[in-house]
Amino acid sequence: MHGSRAANNALLDALLSQLGREPGAECAVCPPFPYLEQVSARLRGTPIALGAQTASEHGEGAYTGEVSAAMLKEFGCRYVIVGHSERRQIYGETDAQVAAKFCAAQGAGLVPILCVGETLEEREAGRTEEVVARQLDAVLNKTKFEKAVLAYEPVWAIGTGRNASPEQAQAVHGFLRERLSAEVRILYGGSVKPQNAAAIFAMPDVDGGLIGGASLVAKDFIEIVRAAK
């Protein structure tokens, strides 16, 4: 929940000046709902795609404050994040609700970016694979994982300054890869910075990043995108 019209324009000016012709890697930005129209207009005709941070599992109805996947599609979104750790932890989204959001996004023609990941307590208890498998299976039990992206975001490495080592990230990505078709892209999201991006992206099953705080600093985000080439 960051941004303003002025701040957005400054950030987009920098991104488009450096990545607007040939980013070198597929790239999308996911602003808060009120700024979708502004960002959509700025990105039109560029190789940078638009996404949203979440969507309702419902198509329409008496759900005050919610935003449907079809509404996002109408604003030019290609992607939508579902099941981000903050949505699960702060707002209590369950595996079943996240799976329903995933299906709603697919049904509206959006590419869902499904987030899975364990807390520090779960990792220290040796439950990492159990947790991410449960979160992924909630979706696989409802629909096929196609025209979708998976993002592994260890909760203990988000906004803490800590990050999984490239080898730790690879271990979980490799486990997830075994459960999905080879063409599914698996992103890593957990305090990715310019200093560690290249080493993380060099892992065989890490296909890119889901970038949080560093995406708000144009120089850092551009360096991370370039590291993903």
Q: Catalytic one among 84, 93, 118, 173?
A: 84
Instruction: Give the Å distances, CA to CA, from 130 to 106, 126, 135, 190.
Output: 26, 9, 9, 19
How far is residue 153's CA from residue 185's CA, in Å, rounded to a whole number?
Answer: 14
Q: Catalytic one among 57, 93, 118, 153?
A: 153
How far is residue 113's CA from residue 130's CA, in Å, rounded to a whole number?
Answer: 20
Say whether 84 is catalytic. yes
Q: Find all residues with CB under 8 Å of 17, minimum gap 6, and list them.
A: none
Q: Are 136 and 111 in contact (CB under 8 A)?
A: no
The residues assigned a catalytic role are 84, 153
